[in-house]
A and B are shown apart, each in its own frame.
Chain A
């Protein structure tokens, strides 16, 4: 008698045998529940509405395997030059204390440590948030991370405190066929504030999967800015889930830059569950070659008087694919909601594709919501105008591309970070 494994079974088998037994019982329970869910559920297919334009078929056929330990490679080349920041480095999902600035003093303004350490030292505090926003049952990738995540960042900014420098979370991949699953929890206390730079980079890999979850809780009057930069190499699949819960008067601002990778899928879910909370979501896909970048956003206005502003742009070259799906749901109590969403795409090649799907679901009657989506080619009138002033066609197109991207880049207030992104884009332009 013989039997064959399905793609899913063969994919999952590599994850088995990791030892999490040292974790607290409640955290082990989270993993067990996730595992149960993972066994019962399937990975998405293009028949699922939320994955219509992004297939994970080829991803599941690859044999990714989590590593069990890491060495300490040279990471200097992967730091962001000129950035003055607290740094937390993870290699293949494992914490690299040698390169990291841990803050675990009870009397300090904030706690910053790897989440495995926090499960021990801050377990009780953490349990009320961990896995609450990005539930395992939301999908197989969520469950995969919940069951098998290796480590990640824990940040808790104490009430009324401001982290004096940006915090740079640097996730690096190394090796062949590695599966990397970071898991982060960020809690911004009442009237506290912080700026995060989360970047995903490759040391040297052939085939990698990054499947990351970050949960963010922003308390009353708290402020959090996140710049998320994805620039792993072109053999890397990246699935990313950011789940945000906002209390009243809080501000959450995220700029997302998928810059390189084989496939990038971002799921961003924001719940505005306190009055006068504000969410700002900006993103820029710059797609070359056969890259496939997909941004799914879901903003829920749950309480009245909240504001969300969303702008995602993409430039799609060659055979690239860009996907934007932005859903706004205004719950029945969320009167006086202001929700603005816009998606703009430029296609520079006949084989390039941009899919755009705005969705509005409104159950309150006194709201202002707008959404718009445009997909087009260059403004040829503008190209001509520049050429008529003596500017070469190639330079004219470059100027216009930079101008198009500039609207999103302008949202990055940190000059060093902005310059870093500009250089990455510049490199893709040439």
Chain B
């Protein structure tokens, strides 16, 4: 469903991605690991459609469409979901009003009628339970004053509500304690099925104890330099990234 070919991207004239290849098929979980500065965040930003990043080469195809040609909202409409590393706080927009708008706009994009209030409320309750999100947060302003763990759980909650085809988790584990990590992972595992896929971008191996990847890729200097199975993640955890860079030389 996602095909990235020779992707090159830069920010402020500085090349970050230097020819990245990746293919994701339905039912798969991919982990992308790499040291700081390797291009993990840039990859996430380019896929989400951040305008600051300039794509200088290569292509990204998502479900047969040129992803790079789509607006951020159209990408979401097509079924791409980015769980952000730093979810934005938006004072004055309530969580519930926000997610209702999002759900119905994605439905509209797919030519489906808006959800009836009753259906929406049921969906809301189910998905809140999935990530153990306190119902009181629904009426609070979006992410405002949320703890780090609440923000990340809120991202997974939104993902559950929008039920994407491809979920990308951008360092969702950063700043999470072990309980929150387990809740987040459990949410993802329950959403997983043979028709959707997940890309987990992470610096550390520990999230992968809970979300077990089919493939582990090492991103280094803007390219994927090594691909393996879950054992590769354990090896990276033990030995760090140095041995790979040495191997490359």
Q: Does A404 touch B at the CB level, under 8 Å?
A: yes
How far apart sit A381 and B72, CA to CA, in the bound complex (Å)? 12
Chain B residue nearest in CB terms to A380: B51
Chain B residue nearest in CB terms to A406: B92
How far apart sit A393 and B74, CA to CA, in the bound complex (Å)? 11
0 or 1 for each of B62-91: is its CB under 8 Å from A? (1 = yes)? 000000000111011100001010011011
Give the contact-size bracket for chain A: 20 to 34
Q: Does A104 touch B at the CB level, under 8 Å?
A: no
| SS class, residues of chain B in contact with chain A | helix
Chain A residue nearest in CB terms to B107: A390
Does A389 lie within 8 Å of B92, measured CB to CB? no
Chain A residues closer than 8 Å to B106, beta-carbon distance: 389-390
Q: Give the residue of B75, B88, B91 whose beta carbon is less than 8 angstroms from that of A385.
A: B88
Q: How many residues of B contact A (CB 8 A)?
A: 29
Chain B residues closer than 8 Å to A384, beta-carbon distance: 49-51, 72, 88
Q: Does B98 touch A at the CB level, under 8 Å?
A: yes
Does B73 lie within 8 Å of A387, measured CB to CB? yes
How far apart sit A404 and B91, CA to CA, in the bound complex (Å)? 8
How far apart sit A387 and B77, CA to CA, in the bound complex (Å)? 10
Does A389 lie within 8 Å of B90, measured CB to CB? no
Does A388 lie within 8 Å of B82, measured CB to CB? yes
Q: Give the residue of B48, B73, B87 whose beta carbon is less than 8 angstroms from that of A391.
A: B73
Q: Does A382 touch B at the CB level, under 8 Å?
A: yes
How far apart sit A382 and B99, CA to CA, in the bound complex (Å)? 14
Does A385 lie within 8 Å of B84, measured CB to CB? yes
CB of B202 to closest CB in A, whole Å:
20
Q: Does A402 touch B at the CB level, under 8 Å?
A: yes
Does A389 lie within 8 Å of B102, measured CB to CB? yes
Chain A residues closer than 8 Å to B101, beta-carbon distance: 391, 395, 399
Q: Does A392 touch B at the CB level, under 8 Å?
A: yes
Q: Give the residue of A387, A393, A403 whose beta carbon is less than 8 angstroms from that of B93.
A: A403
Does A404 lie within 8 Å of B92, measured CB to CB? yes
- In the complex where A389-B158, A391-B105 touch, is A400 in contact with B71 (Cβ < 8 A)? no
Chain B residues closer than 8 Å to A406, beta-carbon distance: 92
Does B90 lie within 8 Å of A388, measured CB to CB? no
Chain A residues closer than 8 Å to B109, beta-carbon distance: 390
Q: Give the residue of A392, A393, A395, A400 whose beta carbon is less than 8 angstroms from that of B90.
A: A400
Chain B residue nearest in CB terms to A381: B88
Does B49 lie within 8 Å of A388, measured CB to CB? yes
CB of B168 to closest CB in A, whole Å:
11
Chain B residues closer than 8 Å to A387, beta-carbon distance: 49, 71-73, 76
Q: A359-409: which have CB < 8 Å to B?
A: 379, 381-382, 384-393, 395, 399-400, 402-404, 406-407
Q: Does B162 touch A at the CB level, under 8 Å?
A: yes
Does B92 lie within 8 Å of A403, measured CB to CB? yes
Does B88 lie within 8 Å of A392, measured CB to CB? no
Does A400 lie within 8 Å of B93, measured CB to CB? yes
Chain B residues closer than 8 Å to A407, beta-carbon distance: 91-92
Chain B residues closer than 8 Å to A390, beta-carbon distance: 73, 76-77, 102, 105-106, 109, 162
- By a beta-carbon cutoff of 8 Å, the part of chain A in contact with chain B is 379, 381-382, 384-393, 395, 399-400, 402-404, 406-407
For the complex with contacts A386-B98, A389-B106, A395-B101, 9 further pairs of A-B residues with Cβ separation under 8 Å are A379-B90, A387-B76, A388-B75, A389-B99, A390-B77, A390-B105, A391-B73, A404-B92, A407-B92
Interface CB pairs A-B, < 8 A, 5: A387-B71, A387-B73, A390-B109, A390-B162, A400-B93
- By a beta-carbon cutoff of 8 Å, the part of chain B in contact with chain A is 48-51, 71-73, 75-77, 82, 84, 87-88, 90-93, 97-99, 101-102, 105-106, 109, 141, 158, 162
Nearest first, the 8 A-B pairs at minimum CB distance are: A403-B92, A390-B76, A390-B106, A387-B72, A389-B102, A385-B88, A406-B92, A403-B93
